Structure 1
Amino acid sequence: MSCYMAVGPELSSENVKRRIQACENFLSSSTCRRLIRAKMTRSLVDGPIVPDEWMRAFFEGTLEDAQALSRGLVPSWSPLSLREFVKEAKSLAVSRDPVTSSGTCSLPKDMRIGLTMKKEHEVARLSAAVADLAERVNSKKVVDIGSGKGYLGQVLALHHGLDVVALEAQSLHNASSQTRTERLRALKRSRGNGTISSLTRKINTADEINAELQKECKDAVIVALHACGDLTPTAMQLFAKTEASALVLFGCCYHRITSDCFPMGPTLRERSSAIQPMLDGELGCHALEEWSKREPWRLRQHGYRALLEEILEECGVEESVQLGRLKIRYQPTDLFEDYARRVLSRLPDLKTPPSDERLISGSERSQRVVPSSACVYALRLLTAAVIESVIVLDRLEFLQDSVGKENSSVRAIFDPVCSPRNLGLFATKPGRART
């Protein structure tokens, strides 16, 4: 068993501008760029992703070492440069630890019907936070941007007694939401007597804010739960340009952000940014905490795939064969050769399939390749957390410029294992919130 050393504070006290600059500098390094652009399944074919001294250390590691690495714990025998890299990544990433314990919020039984465990967790936590914020700014109204099937709005109205305007582009979602709302009201067990009204509207940019939206947002709390791509920045601009009282946003799908909506804050607008959301944003949609808690056997996939890609290339198979689309299931007891034979059985047209001896030798080699690949992937996850952080901090800087530093913040309220996109933006207009 390895001896581990903890590295990196959860969040330093430096201001947002300096932190954004530090994140950008970190992500601009050659090591980060290789990690960001690497294809893990091609790592044995396309060449090294990380420095040689790191790989030599990883060859001596285990899958447990890889999971520890993703949590910022490095084996004591690791090279100094690796320790420094992990320390910097951890120090730059915004803390994703939830500010409240998982047992503080729950939904009434009727309102849990039809919700996944993830959605129930998110709606319970967020509805409580929104209700608290609405009370602080003395508002009874919520505008739910990208309301989907209306789960959040229903809890806000029927449990917390708030009046909700559900803004959703898909009319089918609005119809489904109305049906469920009527069913919940018919049960006559709701504690709140708030109202829900639906608006079928697509807002691509803040320029599409019309008089009707201006009126709906007046004195309201604007909310968006995992607003996709550009919808989160658009909701922020809606908050800035209307007389809304407060804002609570959780973004997602960073790879769908366009150049019109990133960067938003002045720091990255004034610099040649290293962050290219259309290229790097998908990595920002990571699940670091969930990966770090997986059963170790489930971490073999990158190493097994990389080995098989190498073997298939030796056999003259073109890269166009996309093994991921075969949806091969991994079993806890699988050796590499078991996995490889299962894949090869789905590729009957191979002209020169690998020999049994080559597959057996692959199993022997996998004892080093699998943990080392997992360690490299752990570094990608640490880098991904910095990518997400700089996107969120850029948005925070925009809000600080709009409503003041003391009126805006980033907070995690979801368990990141259950809900990986758990960094929320909270803001109030000056003078609206009670202390």
Structure 2
Amino acid sequence: MEELSFCNKRLVEILVDNQWMYNFQVTRFFIEEPWKSLPPEWREDLLNLTTEELNSLPFGYVQDDWTESLRKYISSATELVLPRNLSEEIQPCTLTSELKRGMNPKKQHEVRHMAALVSDIATKTGCDVVIDVGSGLGYLGHVLSTVYGLKVIGLESKSTHTSGADKRLFSENNENIMNVTFEMNDSEDSLSNFNTLISSCLEKFKKAEREKVPDDGNLSSSWSEVHSLNSAVRNSNENGNGADVTGIGVENSELDTCLLIGLHCCGDLTPAMLRMYLEVTFVKGLCCVSCCYHRMTKHGSKYTHFPMSRDTEATLSKFDLRPTIPFLRLAAQETRARWKTLSEDSHQSHTNAVAYRALLELCAYKENTECNKLFRRIATAKDFADFESYVDKILSRCEFTSRQGKESIKDKLNLLYEEYKGKFPYIEVITVLQVILQPLIERLIIQDRVLWLLENGQNAYLMPVFDDAISPRNIAVCSMKIN
């Protein structure tokens, strides 16, 4: 734990010193003017990079004649990046055409690797039941059951997803999977409901084993009871009371051990899972990949679930680093693996997209007006080819609250373009500095969760589970409970 604590200190020191790189909304680029905080001695070095050099910066590329402070920033930051290369210890499973059904290549990659890691932890912990939180349409659970022979309880907050998972499930009449609508959070009611629900599901599995679900294409009494369970828990979630589902065909017997898993758990879901893991006795293992850190709940100036550990909280307080939405959003951005592959055209397209949107924001700011979308999407990639095309599309798909006519708005946008086009090169410069910091912020968040588990007497480790060029959120927090 001392090593992680020291690492926390190094991460926070770099992030505090370079807040100007990330603490602004990208759409306010020309309002906030972050390039003005760029050290003058860095500008010539960074503005004259080739595409290959620009792409290599997040991997520690420096030149001997660069200013010392820039070289120190790059080397110090890249030293703290977590290893993201796929572990050779865990070999992904092979999917049949039936198991691939409905999955795009990215999802197939994630499911093949995640299923293999989950199976490994299940074997080491002796768990024969997996609780898949945020199970969606049930792809991962289907593979865990079919390939590895595990029983699966899929928990999904959206009933439309559990219905879709059931359709996929019942096409094979698989009695080793149950899909239940349940919204997990870290409240006492949710903990009570989780305990009761999972206990009952485990009893259903045992009952199904004894009765052997008939293979006649119809729901057996055991499956009907699962849907009754769904209704009971759903009603409980709606009225805020703990669900009493113990009377739905449950017989008293020893509970099986369970492994709690989540593939890309959004916002507050991972912290809620960690609490369930810690407090529920029959949950013996954990494997969770998080995402969307910026969607964590915020009360006042503080986030409810970051930091979680006492160590991280003390370090943030000591250096007065206060997490913001841009800070957490950067942690959830693509990693340097994709940045490395960008072409010169891709960089130009990104520059145009940021610059044109930021000029629109600047115009609205200067004219004290609002730009309201008339359509969900106001511009496509081809509309960013040149500024004239972008402006024409904006004026046809948006309305402004000011009394100025669209021609007046167009003239002012064109004037702003001429005024700020010389600042466009700074967009990729600031962006690459953010790409360098992205893995540090994500490490701070993930490491905080590991420290919280350690502080609460459990072991924990991190495992790169996907190729981050395919699936950027690729680090799993894993734990095997110490009794």
Q: Where on the TM-score scale, by shorter chain, does this alignment land: which range?
A: 0.7 to 0.9
Tell me the TM-score normalised to structure 1 length. Answer: 0.81
Report which stretch shifted further, 85-94 or 246-255: 85-94
Q: Please state if 1:37 is matched with 2:85.
A: no
- Give the Cα separation in 1 of the matches to 2:271 and 2:191: 13
Q: What residue is the counterpart of 1:284 in the other structure?
A: 331
State the Cα distance separating 1:166 from its structure 2 match.
Answer: 1.2
Please say which structure displays the higher CA radius of gyration: 2
- Give the Cα separation in 1 of the matches to 2:382 and 2:330: 26
Contact map agreement 1:218 1:245 (CA 8 A) in 2: no
Q: Please state if 1:256 is matched with 2:310.
A: no
State the Cα distance separating 1:62 from its structure 2 match.
Answer: 3.2
State the Cα distance separating 1:96 from its structure 2 match.
Answer: 2.1
Structure 1's unaligned 5+ residue stretches are: 1-12, 187-192
Q: 2:313 aligns with which of 244, 269, 293?
A: 269
Aligned pairs for 1:150-165 (under 5 A) are 150-165=138-153
- Give the Cα separation in 1 of the matches to 2:54 and 2:391: 23
Report which stretch shifted further, 16-25 or 36-45: 36-45
Aligned pairs for 1:293-304 (under 5 A) are 293-304=341-352
- Give the Cα separation in 1 of the matches to 2:24 and 2:361: 19
Aligned pairs for 1:176-325 (under 5 A) are 176-183=164-171, 185=172, 195-207=176-188, 208-210=190-192, 211-213=195-197, 215=199, 219-243=257-281, 244-258=283-297, 259-271=303-315, 272=317, 274-276=321-323, 278-288=325-335, 289-305=337-353, 308=356, 309=358, 320-321=370-371
State the Cα distance separating 1:136 from its structure 2 match.
Answer: 1.4
Q: 1:201 to 1:314 in 2, by over 3 A?
A: closer
Q: SS where residue 308 of structure 2 aligns? A: coil
Q: 2:428 aligns with which of 366, 374, 385?
A: 374
Report which stretch shifted further, 116-125 or 368-377: 368-377
State the Cα distance separating 1:275 from its structure 2 match.
Answer: 4.5
Q: 1:84 to 1:133 in 2, by over 3 A?
A: same
State the Cα distance separating 1:236 from its structure 2 match.
Answer: 0.7
Contact map agreement 2:353 2:384 (CA 8 A) in 1: no
State the Cα distance separating 1:226 from its structure 2 match.
Answer: 1.0
Q: 1:425 to 1:346 in 2, by over 3 A?
A: same
Q: SS where residue 165 of structure 1 aligns? A: strand
CA deviations 1:181-240 (Å, max 9, x no partner) are: 122x26xxxxxx770112222222152212415635851111011111111011111111
Aligned pairs for 1:95-110 (under 5 A) are 95-100=83-88, 104-110=92-98
- Give the Cα separation in 2 of the matches to 1:325 and 1:55: 38
- Give the letter aligned to residue 341 of structure 2: K
Q: Please state if 1:420 is matched with 2:472.
A: yes
State the Cα distance separating 1:175 from its structure 2 match.
Answer: 1.1
State the Cα distance separating 1:71 from its structure 2 match.
Answer: 3.0
Q: 1:172 to 1:304 in 2, by over 3 A?
A: closer
- Give the Cα separation in 2 of the matches to 1:287 and 1:260: 25
State the Cα distance separating 1:268 from its structure 2 match.
Answer: 2.1
State the Cα distance separating 1:106 from its structure 2 match.
Answer: 2.8
- Give the Cα separation in 1 of the matches to 2:130 and 2:454: 22
Q: What residue is the counterpart of 2:451 in the other structure?
A: 397
CA deviations 1:50-77 (Å, max 9, x no partner) are: 2222223222223333222233323444
Tell me the TM-score normalised to structure 2 length. Answer: 0.74
Q: Please, what is the CA RMSD of the aligned residues?
A: 3.4
Structure 2's unaligned 5+ residue stretches are: 203-254, 298-302, 399-404
Question: Which fold has the larger relative contact order, with Cα–Cα distance below 8 Å and residues 6 or more apart in sequence?
Answer: 1
- Give the letter aligned to residue 257 of structure 2: D
Q: 1:112 to 1:320 in 2, by over 3 A?
A: same
Contact map agreement 1:298 1:332 (CA 8 A) in 2: no
Contact map agreement 1:284 1:384 (CA 8 A) in 2: yes
- Give the Cα separation in 2 of the matches to 1:160 and 1:196: 13
Q: 1:225 to 1:382 in 2, by over 3 A?
A: same
Q: SS where residue 73 of structure 1 aligns? A: coil
The count of aligned residue pairs is 405
Q: What residue is the counterpart of 2:408 in the other structure?
A: 351
Q: 1:298 to 1:331 in 2, by over 3 A?
A: farther
Q: SS where residue 21 of structure 1 aligns? A: helix
Contact map agreement 2:28 2:361 (CA 8 A) in 1: no
State the Cα distance separating 1:269 from its structure 2 match.
Answer: 2.9
Q: What residue is the counterpart of 1:388 in the other structure?
A: 442
Q: 1:76 to 1:38 in 2, by over 3 A?
A: farther
- Give the letter aligned to residue 476 of structure 2: G
Q: 1:296 to 1:332 in 2, by over 3 A?
A: farther
Report which stretch shifted further, 199-208 or 218-227: 199-208
- Give the letter aligned to residue 296 of structure 1: E
State the Cα distance separating 1:82 from its structure 2 match.
Answer: 1.4
- Calculate percent identity across the aligned residue pairs: 25
Q: SS where residue 97 of structure 1 aligns? A: coil
- Give the Cα separation in 2 of the matches to 1:75 and 1:336: 35
Contact map agreement 1:157 1:195 (CA 8 A) in 2: yes
- Give the Cα separation in 2 of the matches to 1:159 and 1:392: 30
State the Cα distance separating 1:111 from its structure 2 match.
Answer: 0.7
